Amino acid sequence: MTGLRHGIDLGGTKTEIVTLDAAGGEIFRQRTPTPRGDYGALVGHIAGLVGAAEAACGGIGTVGIGIPGAISPATGLIKNANTTELIGHDLAGDLGARLGRPIRLANDADCFTLSEAADGAGAGGGTVFGVIIGTGVGGGVAVGGRLLSGPNAIAGEWGHNPLPRPADDERPGPACYCGRHGCIETFLSGPGFALDHRQHSGNVMTGREIAAAAAEGDFAAQESIERYCRRLARALATAINLLDPHVIVLGGGMSNLDAIYGRVPALIGRHVFSDTCVTPVRKARHGDSSGVRGAAWLWPAA
Same-domain check for residues 166 and 192: yes
Same-domain check for residues 156 and 59: no
Same-domain check for residues 79 and 146: no
C-alpha 189/C-alpha 158 separation (Å) is 12
Same-domain check for residues 236 and 90: no
CATH number of the domain encompassing residue 67: 3.30.420.40
Judged against a pLDDT cut of 70, whether residue 301 lies above it is answered with: no
pLDDT range class, residue 217, cuts 50, 70, 90:
very high
**Out of 45-59, 64-78, 161-175, 196-210, which region has the weakest mean confidence (pLDDT)?**
64-78
What pLDDT does 175 receive? 96
Query: The domain containing residue 240 runs over which residues?
Result: 123-284
DSSP string, 39-86: HHHHHHHHHHHHHHHHHHHTS-EEEEEEESSEE-TTTSSEES-SSGGG
pTM here is 0.87
Side-chain-facing half-sphere of 127: CA atoms under 13 Å: 11
Q: For residue range 258-300, what is the model confidence (pLDDT) as tens digits? A: 999 999 999 999 999 999 999 999 999 998 889 999 999 898 7
What pLDDT does 77 receive? 94
